[in-house]
Every structure is written in C-alpha cells, then in structure tokens.
C-alpha cells in the first residue's frame, strides 16, 4: 500500500435491493485487491449483509466498518420503491458505527425505523436519532456514530441543488445540532458527471464555513466495472 491510504465509507451490496449489484464477498475481495485500508458496508436501512461481509472480510484480512444508509422522511411511503428516499420529503443519511456500542445503537435505530415505516419502506427521523445516539442522548450513548451527509439525496446536497448554498448550510446546521460537529462529515463524490465538480466545490465551501469535516467516497454500488450495467439497470 502506498503512503496515501483510502477507506471506502459508503458502499452498497446486493442487499440494497434493486440498487447494489455485488455480493459482500465480492466487495471484500475487490477492496483487498485495491489495497483499501478499510471498507464500510452501508446498505439501505438495514444490516442485512453484515454477517456475510464480516466473514468474507475476516477471511481476507480486511478491516471493516458497519453502517447503514437511513431513509428519513414520510411515514406512508409508496409500495415497491426501488431506491429509498426518491420521493418528495425524504432524504438519505449515512450512519457509521465507531464501536460495538455504536453498532448496538444503530441496530436499535434501524429496528425502530422498520416499525415506523410501511412494509418494505422503513423511515427514520432526526428526532429519534438525536435522542438515541445524538446530542439529546444520554452521555454514555453519544459519540458512537460518525454521520455522513450522504449522496445527492442527502439533505445537504439536495438542498444545494434545489435552493442553493444558504439552504444547504441550514440543513448542515441542523445535522450539527442533531449529532455534534465532531460526529459529522460532509460527503463528496465524483462519478464523472458534468456537475459533480461544481457540486463538490460548493459543498466544500459550505463545510469549511460550518467548520465541519469533509470526506470523499465513491458511493459504491458494485465491486468492478463489469457489474455496473446490473447496478444501473
């Protein structure tokens, strides 16, 4: 591995139904081939693939991070929604467990989201997350999560696209108040789309003004380019 190591903090497996394309085993193997320092599995609204992921990663010696991409928003979603968070009034949020306590708290948050939403479409809320593992939680339950602002369907990025930098800054401030500045990072990604650089530059400025850390991800949905057609079908 070179002097500059990289850990992927936003990655979906085939357990993100109709969104991710690769098995946990394939993701772990490719991460090792690329010499990543660690890989986070962040499937939509659940820990569905973590056992297979943990076993595969252990077999090849890959450090792991467990997390999930939560859908925040409406409590009465439509049926058969392939990409959670695509409807109006919803957003995505990446939550990563820093330690076993963080994993337990996130598991509870996911269970509550499953109960709160409709069948097959769990929904979390910032208020619940704040009380469970954020700034309103008991002191013993704080600082066990690292929260990323998420993809284009995250509240910050979507506010930037819809209403501009001021609205995005307001959404970032809300997340700071919910989780604490030290537990939050603004997520940047570049898939080669024409406006990716423009969006990332704007998000970087918003993060700097808000004194919030930045993190680069690939928002991975497949292990190798050969699986891209399946992921984007």
Is residue 191 scored above 60 in pLDDT? yes
Question: Environment class of residue 61 by beta-carbon count within 10 Å: exposed (0-12), middle (13-18) or buried (19+)?
Answer: exposed
Kindly state the average pLDDT of the residues 40-63: 98
**Band of residue 84 on the pLDDT scale cut at 50, 70, 90:** very low
Burial 19-55 (b: 16+ CB within 10 A, else e): bbbbbbbbbbbbbbeeebeebbbbbbbbbbbbebbbe
Longest Cα–Cα distance in the chain: 48
pLDDT value of position 56: 98
What's the CA gap between 16 and 85, in Å, rounded? 13
Residue ranges matching CATH 3.20.20.140 in the chain: 1-81
Kindly state the average pLDDT of the residues 54-60: 98
pLDDT value of position 80: 38
Helices (H), strands (E): how many in the chain? 8, 7
Angle, alpha carbons 12-229-86 (nearest 5°): 55
**Band of residue 51 on the pLDDT scale cut at 50, 70, 90:** very high
pLDDT value of position 87: 56
Is residue 4 scored above 80 in pLDDT? no
- Decide the pairing of beta strands 184-188 and 145-148: parallel
- Listed range (74-78, 107-111, 117-121, 216-220) with the worst mean pLDDT: 74-78
For 7, which DSSP code?
E
Nearest to 61 by CA among 96, 29, 98: 29
**Band of residue 230 on the pLDDT scale cut at 50, 70, 90:** confident
- Looking at domain 1-81, its CATH class is alpha beta
pLDDT tens digits for range 98-152: 999 999 999 999 999 999 887 778 999 999 999 999 999 999 999 999 999 999 9
Q: What is the mean pLDDT of the chain?
A: 91
pLDDT tens digits for range 144-186: 999 999 999 999 999 999 999 999 999 999 999 999 999 999 9
Quick one: tokens of 218? 């690939």
Q: Edge to edge, what strands does the sheet with 145-148 contain?
A: 7-8, 38-41, 64-72, 91-97, 145-148, 184-188, 213-216
Q: How far is CA 49 from CA 55, 86, 143, in A?
A: 10, 22, 25
């Amino acid at each position: 591995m070179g002097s500059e190591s990289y850990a992927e903090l936003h990655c979906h497996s085939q357990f993100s139904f109709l969104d991710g394309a690769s098995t946990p085993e394939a993701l772990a193997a490719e991460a090792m081939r690329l010499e990543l320092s660690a890989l986070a599995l962040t499937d939509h609204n659940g820990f569905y693939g973590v056992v297979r992921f943990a076993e595969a990663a252990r077999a090849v010696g890959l450090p792991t991070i467990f997390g999930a991409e939560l859908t925040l928003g409406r409590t009465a979603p439509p049926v058969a929604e392939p990409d959670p968070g695509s409807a109006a009034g919803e957003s995505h949020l990446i939550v990563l467990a820093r330690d076993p306590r963080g994993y337990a708290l996130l598991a509870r948050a996911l269970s509550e989201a499953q109960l709160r939403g409709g069948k097959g479409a769990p929904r979390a809320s910032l208020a619940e997350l704040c009380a469970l593992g954020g700034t309103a939680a008991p002191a013993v339950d704080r600082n066990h999560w690292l929260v990323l602002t998420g993809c284009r369907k995250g509240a910050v990025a979507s506010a930037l696209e819809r209403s501009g930098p001021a609205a995005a800054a307001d959404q970032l401030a809300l997340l700071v108040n919910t989780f604490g500045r030290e537990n939050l990072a603004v997520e940047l990604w570049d898939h080669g789309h024409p406006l990716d650089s423009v969006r990332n530059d704007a998000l970087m400025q918003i993060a700097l003004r808000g004194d919030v850390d930045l993190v680069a991800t690939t928002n991975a949905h497949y292990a190798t380019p050969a699986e891209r057609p399946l992921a984007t079908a």
